[in-house]
């Protein structure tokens, strides 16, 4: 693994730790004013305060919780669910495959953001609903990926041999499919993770997020909605800090997923 | 018992239930076990078999020259006279006069201090009533008859070449105009030219003098040119008997086939493989004598000694299973693929049968339907019509591929036939894991044995290696090991060598043939390579546009 990859992993770990240990790391509460409004960064308030006087560093640390929860939830739901659907579709073939693939075509044809906005509005604002809304169309990518791999494996002679010995779906999955599709699933789950973080931020930014969650998107939403944010110098800490943390998070995830792909293509003992 | 007897009158010589046992210091050895046969006037009977099968003992018994340690049972009738019952003097009259023998050629058969003339002369004086002068003339005639220069008569045996000495022995044997000539290994130590000369001479002499002949040899080459009828002996028993040509063309006893397959004369292109292991000591006599080397043996064979009985016209064999069994029979196999509304005919009324222990090559150009037929035979693919029988039961789905002692298939592409992410052990043990036939504890041991069979390392380090670290040839061996662990009776090898380099290809091919020889499974080998077909095939099927026909191996070039 390259140094860049290691660096990315460190960033991710740091952000997750920030989220988990946020009450310990930030001296101030994330939901109550702890200073005067719109203070610039100082030793007391590292990233300044917002219009209500709430510490921004505390908000960022706490926001990591919401963002990683949405990311991990989507990655698990859409990633694992999509992979199972893809595997079944590829293995069963025939009509079931055709039906599943047409549904996935439909999910793919819908534009991501507008659909999420509508679904978000429809389900109502809550982190759980956001996860479901994002998952509803993002299961397609892992499903397609896994299906095509399973289709390729199915044609291999060792599968014909296994079949001739009377192997069932469970054996085939355990011995032949899973070890080969796991890297694909892992990579697409990481992608889903960062995608979900961005989409959640987008929804919150538009005001469709969970207002109680205090995710990075919600911080952004409040900052943007502050009249005159661009005329003052408050944007330098209030706006830049959530954008920066989000960018570092998604970029690190992207780097990790690229590194993993590179590693697994080299067939290194990893199972 | 005799074949021509019914229409050619009484046989000249008939041997009934002959058993010969040699008494040794500690144990008795049964050299000939209850053998019956007959010889008609003017015919030539060949007796063939491995060394120690009792051929020479029979010759010696007929001649009455067995050592005193031999115990003989049964009767040897020459023209209604039982030779066994004659006194030594009477027997002496039969010897040379009626029945003469040409012994295996060696220096010590001839008396080293007598000239050729004296040797033959002595023989004539001893056994006939000819006078001195007549005897001298007879010697000259005989030498002329066997094609020797008259000057040779003054030479001593050590002056002569092997071929010439053999001719002198023949001349001696013919000195008294015998009715039966027994020729024991007439050419074993001679060069090919001398062999041909002796064979030619024997044929010519038989034609002129019309004597009956028994030729004893382990050389198929000799027998096939001289003998009308052939009997194959093993461990003192007759295993197969019939017309020479028929037997050589389609041996019906697995011993005969093994024997013929070892002959370079019959198989000029093929690799030679002897019958594995050796005949066991003749003193333990229970069940079929070929039991321990036979691959289609049953429990029954260790108990019951098979009787010589007819299996076809003029063909007798001694086998509890009725000779080499047919293990697979496919009848009228049809298969059509449908692709975008077009019908593609892959198999059209295909018939194929495979006998136990043989290598059948299915040859044909790409797209002729070979692989489709093979997959149908294994049961993995279903035919549109027709059926496949394996050991008398219908092949359906994976009923035989998922069974020990069933059908196994090895594929063409070594990179696809093994999941490269698995370890060597996981790959080979897979059939056992899926079928759950063998207990977990013994699986690892079986994997090691299979690896040993395919000549791969079988230490723990190799077992734990991932298959993607292996070369194409090694992967093909692993695939082969995976098939062998199921101990198949039929192995279908689908172009297993075509993707390998020539050296690896040769190694895998020899490995396959060697394994077949050692384990006795039948093999259906699919290839488009004529040269490989000639190298390994016992029988050949050629496939063309979905139709199949059996061809003679020597006709394809």
**All structural domains of chain A with their residue ranges:** 3-32+49-265
Are B308 and B405 in the same domain?
Answer: no
Q: Does the distance separating the beta carbons of A171 and B416 come in below 8 Å? A: no
Residue in the block written with tokens 């050419």: B187
Enclosing domain of residue B445: 326-555
Are B354 and B502 in the same domain?
Answer: yes
Find the Cα–Cα–Cα–Cα dihedral B472, B475, B476, B479, rounded to 10°: -160
C-alpha pair distances (Å), B7 with each of A117, B4, B41, B242, B403: 105, 6, 12, 17, 52
pLDDT of residue B429: 94
Least confident of A177-191, B39-53, B278-292, B378-392: B278-292
Q: Does the distance separating the beta carbons of B434 and A171 come in below 8 Å? A: yes
Residue of A149, A155, A161 best to disrupt the B interface, most CBs of B under 10 A: A161
Q: How far apart are CA B311 and CA B301, in angstroms?
A: 18
Are B377 and B515 in the same domain?
Answer: yes
Q: What are phi and psi of A28, to 5 degrees?
A: -110, 155
For residue B443, the chain A residues in CB contact (below 8 A) are: none
Mean pLDDT of B242-256: 91
Q: Distance (Å) from the C-alpha of residue B464 to the closest C-alpha of chain A? A: 12
Q: Does the distance separating the beta carbons of A180 and B466 come in below 8 Å? A: no
pLDDT of residue B474: 92
Chain B contact present for A160, CB below 8 A: yes
Residue window 170-189, chain A: list those with CB within 8 Å of chain B.
171, 175-176, 179-180
Are B13 and B74 in the same domain?
Answer: yes
Q: Is there a domain that residue B157 lies in?
A: no
Q: ipTM beyond 0.95?
A: no
Q: Distance (Å) from the C-alpha of residue A253 to the closest C-alpha of chain B? A: 27
For residue A180, the chain B residues in CB contact (below 8 A) are: 421
Q: Does the distance separating the beta carbons of B402 and A180 come in below 8 Å? A: no
pLDDT of residue B268: 77
Closest partner residue to B401 (CB to CB) among A158, A165, A180 is: A165
Q: Does the distance separating the beta carbons of B413 and A157 come in below 8 Å? A: yes
Are B470 and B354 in the same domain?
Answer: yes
Closest partner residue to B402 (CB to CB) among A166, A171, A267 is: A166
pLDDT score of B169 more than 70: yes
**Residue A46 neighbours by CB distance under 10 Å:** 17
For residue A269, the chain B residues in CB contact (below 8 A) are: 466
pLDDT of residue A171: 92
Q: Is there a domain that residue B151 lies in?
A: no
Run of H or E including B88: helix B88-97
pLDDT tens digits, one per residue of A123-141: 888 888 889 988 988 999 9
pLDDT tens digits, one per residue of B400-446: 999 999 999 999 888 899 998 899 999 999 999 999 888 889 999 99
Are B350 and B267 in the same domain?
Answer: no
For residue B378, the chain A residues in CB contact (below 8 A) are: 164
Closest partner residue to B378 (CB to CB) among A157, A164, A180 is: A164
C-alpha pair distances (Å), A59 with each of A215, B17, B173, B512: 8, 109, 120, 72
Q: How far apart are CA B548 and CA B532, in angstroms?
A: 19
Domain A3-32+49-265: CATH architecture, name and number where available: Orthogonal Bundle (1.10)
Are B60 and B183 in the same domain?
Answer: yes
For residue B398, the chain A residues in CB contact (below 8 A) are: 163-166
Of B181 and B4, the one with more pLDDT = B181
Identify the CATH number of the domain in which residue B253 sits: 3.40.50.300
Low-confidence ranges of chain A (pLDDT < 70): 265-271
pLDDT score of B131 more than 80: yes
Q: Of B295, B318, B341, which residue constitutes the final position of a domain? A: B318
Percent share of chain B, pLDDT over 90: 35
Chain B contact present for A265, CB below 8 A: no
pLDDT score of B283 more than 60: no
Q: Is there a domain that residue B525 lies in?
A: yes
Are B215 and B341 in the same domain?
Answer: no
Closest partner residue to A157 (CB to CB) among B417, B421, B435 is: B417
Q: Does the distance separating the beta carbons of B380 and A176 come in below 8 Å? A: no
Q: How far apart are CA B517 and CA B506, in angstroms?
A: 16
Confidence of residue B8 (pLDDT cuts 50, 70, 90): low
Least confident of A198-212, B191-205, B214-228, B524-538: A198-212
Searching chain A, which residue's CA lies closest to the CA of residue B431? Answer: A165
**Contact residues for A194 (Cβ-Cβ < 8 A; gap 6+):** A71, A249, A250, A253, A254
Are B405 and B506 in the same domain?
Answer: yes
Q: Distance (Å) from the C-alpha of residue A167 to the closest C-alpha of chain B? A: 6
pLDDT tens digits, one per residue of B465-505: 999 899 988 999 999 999 999 999 999 999 888 888 889 88
Q: How many domains does chain B have?
A: 2
Sheet strands (E) in B54-93: 70-78, 81-82
pLDDT of residue B280: 63
Q: Please, what is the angle between helix B116-127 and helix B162-174, to 10°?
A: 20
Are B404 and B264 in the same domain?
Answer: no
Q: Is there a domain that residue B109 lies in?
A: no
Chain B residues with CB within 8 Å of chain A CB:
378-380, 398, 401-402, 409, 411-413, 416-419, 421-422, 426-427, 430-431, 433-435, 466, 468, 479, 482, 486
Flag whether the pTM goes above 0.90: no
Are B428 and B539 in the same domain?
Answer: yes
pLDDT of residue B285: 65
Chain B contact present for A27, CB below 8 A: no
CB B493 within 8 A of CB B524: yes
A189 three-state secondary structure: helix
Searching chain A, which residue's CA lies closest to the CA of residue B479? Answer: A158
pLDDT of residue A28: 85
Residue of A149, A152, A164 best to disrupt the B interface, most CBs of B under 10 A: A164
How many residues are listed for chain B in this entry? 557
For residue A171, the chain B residues in CB contact (below 8 A) are: 433-434
C-alpha pair distances (Å), A261 with each of A266, B367, B465, B482: 9, 39, 23, 32
pLDDT tens digits, one per residue of B155-167: 998 888 888 888 8
Closest CA to B402 of A157, A156, A155, A160: A160
Which range scores top for mean pLDDT: A41-50, B31-40, B75-84? B31-40
Q: Distance (Å) from the C-alpha of residue B413 to the closest C-alpha of chain A? A: 8
Chain B contact present for A6, CB below 8 A: no
C-alpha pair distances (Å), B124 with each of A87, B139, B142, B171: 95, 8, 11, 11
Q: Distance (Å) from the C-alpha of residue A84 to the closest C-alpha of chain B? A: 21
Q: Does the distance separating the beta carbons of B380 and A162 come in below 8 Å? A: no
pLDDT of residue A268: 44
Q: Distance (Å) from the C-alpha of residue B434 to the closest C-alpha of chain A? A: 6
The CA angle B539-B545-B550, to the nearest 5 degrees, is: 20
Residue B187 CB burial class (10 angstroms; 0-12, 13-18, ≥19): buried
Q: Does the distance separating the beta carbons of B398 and A166 come in below 8 Å? A: yes
Rounded to a whole number of angstroms, the CA Rg of chain A reads: 22
Query: Between A and B, how many CB-CB pairs are < 8 A?
Result: 60
Q: Does the distance separating the beta carbons of B421 and A171 come in below 8 Å? A: no
Are B423 and B515 in the same domain?
Answer: yes
For residue B422, the chain A residues in CB contact (below 8 A) are: 175
Chain B contact present for A227, CB below 8 A: no
Q: Of B273, B291, B318, which residue constitutes the final position of a domain? A: B318
pLDDT of residue B284: 59
pLDDT score of B7 more than 60: no
pLDDT tens digits, one per residue of B371-400: 899 999 998 889 999 999 999 899 988 899
């Amino acid at each position: 693994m390259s140094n860049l990859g290691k660096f990315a992993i460190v960033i991710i770990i740091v952000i997750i730790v920030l989220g988990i240990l946020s009450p310990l790391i930030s001296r101030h509460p994330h939901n109550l004013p702890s200073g005067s409004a719109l203070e610039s960064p100082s030793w007391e308030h590292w990233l300044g305060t917002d219009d209500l006087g709430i510490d921004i560093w505390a908000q960022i640390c706490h926001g990591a919780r919401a963002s990683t929860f949405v990311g991990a939830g989507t990655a698990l739901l859409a990633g694992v669910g999509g992979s199972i659907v893809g595997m079944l579709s590829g293995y069963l073939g025939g009509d079931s495959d055709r039906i599943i693939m047409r549904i996935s075509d439909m999910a793919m044809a819908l534009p991501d953001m507008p659909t999420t906005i509508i679904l978000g509005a429809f389900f109502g604002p809550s982190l759980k609903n956001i996860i479901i809304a994002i998952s509803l169309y993002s299961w397609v990518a892992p499903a397609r990926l896994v299906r095509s791999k399973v289709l390729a494996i199915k044609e291999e002679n060792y599968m014909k041999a296994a079949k001739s010995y009377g192997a069932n779906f469970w054996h085939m999955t355990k011995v032949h499919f899973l070890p080969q599709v796991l890297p694909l699933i892992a990579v697409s789950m990481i992608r889903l993770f960062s995608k979900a973080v961005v989409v959640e931020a987008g929804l919150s930014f538009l005001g469709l997020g969970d207002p109680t969650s205090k995710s990075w998107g919600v911080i952004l939403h409040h900052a943007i909605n502050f009249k005159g944010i661009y005329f003052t110098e408050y944007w330098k800490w209030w706006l830049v800090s959530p954008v920066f943390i989000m960018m570092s998070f998604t970029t690190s995830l992207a780097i990790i997923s690229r590194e993993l792909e590179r590693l697994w293509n080299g067939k290194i003992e990893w199972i | 018992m005799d074949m021509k007897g019914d229409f050619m009158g009484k046989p000249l010589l008939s041997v009934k239930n002959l058993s010969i046992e040699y008494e040794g210091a500690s144990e008795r050895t049964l050299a000939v076990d209850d053998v019956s046969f007959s010889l008609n006037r003017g015919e030539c009977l060949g007796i063939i078999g491995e060394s120690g099968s009792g051929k020479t003992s029979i010759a010696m018994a007929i001649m009455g020259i067995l050592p005193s340690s031999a115990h003989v049972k049964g009767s040897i009738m020459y023209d209604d006279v039982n030779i066994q019952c004659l006194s030594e003097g009477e027997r002496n009259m039969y010897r040379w006069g009626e029945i003469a023998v040409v012994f295996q050629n060696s220096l010590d058969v001839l008396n080293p201090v007598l000239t050729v003339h004296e040797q033959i002369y002595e023989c004539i004086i001893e056994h006939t009533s000819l006078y001195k002068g007549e005897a001298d003339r007879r010697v000259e005639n005989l030498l002329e008859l066997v094609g020797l220069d008259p000057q040779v008569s003054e030479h001593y045996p050590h002056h002569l070449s092997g071929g010439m000495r053999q001719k002198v022995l023949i001349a001696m044997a013919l000195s008294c105009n015998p009715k039966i000539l027994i020729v024991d290994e007439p050419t074993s130590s001679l060069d090919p030219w001398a062999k041909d000369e002796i064979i030619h001479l024997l044929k010519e002499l038989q034609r002129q003098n019309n004597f009956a002949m028994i030729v004893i040899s382990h050389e198929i080459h000799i027998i096939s040119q001289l003998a009308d009828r052939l009997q194959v002996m093993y461990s003192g028993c007759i295993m197969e008997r019939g017309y020479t040509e028929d037997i050589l063309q389609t041996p019906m006893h697995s011993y005969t086939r093994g024997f013929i397959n070892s002959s370079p004369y019959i198989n000029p292109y093929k690799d030679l493989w002897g019958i594995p292991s050796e005949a066991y000591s003749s003193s333990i006599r229970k069940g079929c004598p070929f039991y321990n080397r036979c691959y289609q043996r049953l429990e029954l064979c260790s108990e019951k000694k098979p009787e010589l009985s007819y299996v076809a016209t003029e063909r007798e064999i001694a086998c509890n299973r009725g000779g080499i069994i047919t293990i697979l029979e496919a009848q009228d196999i049809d298969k059509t693929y449908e692709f975008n509304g077009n019908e593609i005919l892959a198999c059209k009324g295909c018939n194929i049968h495979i006998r136990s222990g043989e290598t059948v090559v299915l040859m044909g150009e790409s797209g002729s339907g070979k692989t489709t037929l093979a997959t149908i035979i294994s049961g993995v693919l279903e035919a549109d019509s027709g059926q496949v029988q394996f050991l008398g039961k219908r092949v359906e789905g994976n009923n035989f591929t998922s069974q020990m002692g069933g059908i196994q298939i090895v594929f063409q592409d070594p990179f696809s036939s093994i999941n490269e992410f698995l370890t060597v052990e996981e790959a080979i043990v897979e059939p056992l894991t899926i079928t759950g036939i063998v207990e977990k504890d013994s699986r690892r041991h079986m994997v090691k044995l299979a690896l040993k069979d395919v000549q791969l390392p079988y230490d723990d380090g190799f077992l734990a290696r991932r298959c993607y670290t292996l070369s194409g040839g090694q992967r093909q061996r692993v695939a082969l090991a995976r098939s062998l662990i199921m101990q198949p009776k039929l192995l279908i090898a689908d172009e297993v060598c075509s993707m390998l380099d020539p050296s690896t290809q040769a190694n895998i091919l020899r490995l396959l043939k060697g394994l077949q020889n050692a384990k006795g499974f039948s093999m259906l080998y699919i290839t488009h390579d004529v040269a490989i077909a000639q190298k390994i095939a016992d029988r050949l099927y050629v496939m063309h546009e979905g139709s199949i026909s059996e061809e003679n191996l020597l006709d394809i070039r």
